[in-house]
Amino acid sequence: MRAADRHDVIVVGARIAGAATAMLLARQGVRVLVVDRVSFPSDTISSHQLQVPGVARLRQWGLLGRLTAAGTPPVRQVRLDVGDGLVLDGQFPAYGGADTLLSPRRTLLDSVLVDAAREAGAEVRENFRVTQLTTAGDRVTGLRGSARGGPAVTETASLVIGADGKRSLVAGAARARRYRERPVRSFASYSYWAGVPVSGGELYQRPGRAVAVFPTNDDLTMVYVAARMTEFALARADLEGHYLRALDLCGDLGERVRSGSRAERIRTTPDQPNAFRWPYGPGWALVGDAGVVMDSVSAQGMTSALRDADYLSAAVIAGLGGRRPLDAALRDHHSRRDRAIRGMYDFTLRLAALGPVTSRERRFLAAVTADQHETDRFLGAFAGIVPPEQYFTLGAAVRILGPRISRDRTAALARSSERALARAKVSAR
Ligand SMILES: Cc1cc2nc3c(=O)[nH]c(=O)nc-3n(C[C@H](O)[C@H](O)[C@H](O)COP(=O)(O)OP(=O)(O)OC[C@H]3O[C@@H](n4cnc5c(N)ncnc54)[C@H](O)[C@@H]3O)c2cc1C
């Protein structure tokens, strides 16, 4: 830590990744400044399903009560309908003391985290836009920016953390290298509806579409549609019609949604890049979407951001506290981050292709539905509770298909199921 700096760490961006990182660092006595160009509460383009492992982290950090007190409905029961009558209906498995998914509005969730960062002792500066990083040689030493309408100021610290999202200024200024980058696969539209009866979470897989329905705050229901990016140019002419027609492919969903009333505008975005960035260098680090961004179809970004904040803050505390050289701690953090997210990233890319469910996949899913415990495990793998790379294995295919068919056919089917699963085209949302 440099005594001359007023802050040990500056975090750029105060939403889920930034506020959580600032809170965790400040709770350990690190002097943190966290800035954001917006003020809170503030909405953002995000349909905000927080998966069970993300809920478990909020619980561990003592923040869950604030979301439930604000009336965020917990969801344990979930129904995945892959078409032609094949439905997986079950409950999310428990993880880390939590067993429900939550869909808190970002106006609520991000504010809860910002408040928690402030309470932990972090200085939070809202309406403060960062315009550049300051450097000495190749080391980042701080940043320049200004409050709305105010003069430009310089702030310095031992470490600047970019939690500034997928278009991260910090990553750009630090020239963070990109890898595992893949083209945009899907675009997403979602809105909020009043008076739509739902009894839990609903997920639908149709060729070229993934649909998700989850209850959120204020008795509203969030309804999300993903479609292939190749359709975007055509869909632009009538985005609302395109969105509603997708719901009509999902049993009575279109009818149920139309029987309610739309409470907010339909938000649509094709801005869904898929990429990893090298997450650290001399005097800088990245967290959340700034470090790894992926298609929204798997609804994993916020849960990953909380895990990333957890891992990064532990590395920074070890580094700044002198237990390890900071660079070494950040190097280990990099490997740990990539190990944790790689399987879900690959799985998400396959989901985002929105391909049809093949007959082999249907056979596998039909076998899964015959066993409630297996159905729950499958839904857990989709939600990232069990890492997909640990669930979608040859062993799982044999376990699930084995009793139903002869030995030779089991082996053959297991091999093809593995291939089919490796291409898993069923939506995880
Ligand atoms: C359509 C859609 C649906 C999604 N649905 C889900 C879902 O259901 N579940 C899920 O887990 N994830 C979902 N995601 C992904 C999720 O929204 C992101 O993963 C998550 O918001 C990343 O959080 P973050 O804190 O890293 O970045 P962000 O939320 O992007 O926050 C970055 C912050 O940095 C600030 N900032 C940027 N530049 C500057 C600057 N120069 N100066 C000061 N401040 C700056 C911004 O104002 C912003 O507040 C969805 C994404 C999309 C696009």
3-state secondary structure 107-156: HHHHHHHHHHHHHCCCEEECCEEEEEEEEECCEEEEEEEEECCCCCEEEE
Question: How many angstroms separate the alpha carbon of residue 36 from the centre of ligand 1?
Answer: 12
Residue 1 lies in a domain: no
Torsion 56-57-62-67 (CA) sign? negative
Q: Report if residue 281 sits inside a domain.
A: yes
Pocket of ligand 1 (CB under 6 A): 12-13, 15-18, 35-38, 44-49, 129-130, 163-165, 169, 188, 269, 272, 288-290, 296, 299-303, 305
Domain count, the chain: 3
Question: What's the CA gap between 324 and 319, in Å, rounded?
Answer: 5
Contact 303, 280 (CB under 8 A): no
Last residue in a domain, options 206, 238, 269:
269
Residues 354/207, Cβ–Cβ less than 8 Å: yes
User: Measured from the CA of 131, which atom of ligand 1 is nearest?
Assistant: 41
**pLDDT for position 428:** 44
pLDDT score of 391: 85
What is this structure's pTM? 0.94
- Percent share of the chain, pLDDT over 70: 92
* Cα–Cα distance measured from residue 422 to residue 169, given in angstroms and rounded to the nearest whole number: 35
Among 347, 367, 392, the domain-final residue is 347
| CB-based contact 34:18 (threshold 8 Å) | yes
Same domain for 209 and 299, yes or no, is no
Q: If DSSP codes are grouped into helix, strand and coil, which group holds residue 80?
A: strand
Domain end, chosen from 347, 380, 398, is at 347
Instruction: Find the range with the poorest average confidence among 118-122, 128-132, 358-362.
Output: 358-362
Residues 17-26: tens digit of each pLDDT: 999 999 999 9
Which residue from 203, 186, 189, 185 is spatially nearest to 241, judged by alpha carbons? 189
Number of neighbours of residue 406 by Cβ within 10 angstroms = 10
Please give the structure tokens belonging to residue 332.
């280990």
**Token output for 267:** 């938000």
Q: Are residues 280 and 305 in the same domain?
A: yes
Same domain, 175 and 199: no
Report how far ligand 1's centroid is from the alpha carbon of 307 (Å).
15
Q: What is the CA radius of gyration of the chain?
A: 22
DSSP code at position 219: T
Residue 314 lies in a domain: yes
On the question of pLDDT at 403 being above 70, the answer is no
Q: Convert the pLDDT of each residue in 125-166 to its tens digit.
A: 999 999 999 999 999 999 999 999 899 999 999 999 999 999
Here the contacts of 60-65 (C-beta below 8 Å, separation 24 or greater) are: 60/96, 60/97, 61/20, 61/23, 61/24, 61/116, 63/112, 63/113, 63/116, 64/98
Q: Ligand 1 centre and the CA of 289: distance in Å?
A: 7
What residues make up the domain containing 199? 186-269
Q: Are residues 251 and 387 in the same domain?
A: no
Q: Are residues 121 and 14 in the same domain?
A: yes
How does strand 292-293 pair with strand 139-147? Answer: unpaired
Q: What is the pLDDT of residue 205?
A: 93
Residues 193 and 264 in one domain: yes
Residues listed for the chain: 429
Q: What number does the ligand 1 atom closest to the CA of 16 have?
A: 25
163 located within any domain: yes
The closest-lying atom of ligand 1 relative to the alpha carbon of residue 289 is 26
**Given a cut of 90, is residue 221 above it in pLDDT?**
yes
State the pLDDT at residue 400. 77
The reply to whether 126 and 234 lie within a common domain is no
Atom 30, ligand 1: which residue's CA is nearest? 165
Q: Whose CA is nearest to atom 12 of ligand 1?
A: 301
pLDDT at 412: 59
Of 332, 335, 351, 359, give the one whose Cα is nearest residue 392.
Answer: 351
- The mean of the pLDDT values for the chain is 93
Q: What is the pLDDT of residues 244-287, one digit of tens each?
A: 999 999 999 999 999 999 999 999 999 999 999 999 999 999 99
Torsion of CA 182, 186, 191, 195, to 10 degrees: -120
Nearest-angstrom CA–CA distance, 211 and 414: 29
Q: How far is CA 235 from the centre of its chain?
A: 25
**Residue 281 contacts residue 331 (beta carbons within 8 Å):** no
**Which positions ≥6 away from 297 have C-beta within 8 Å?**
185, 186, 188, 210, 226, 348, 351, 352, 354, 427, 428, 429
What integer pLDDT is reported at residue 360 of this predicted model? Answer: 84
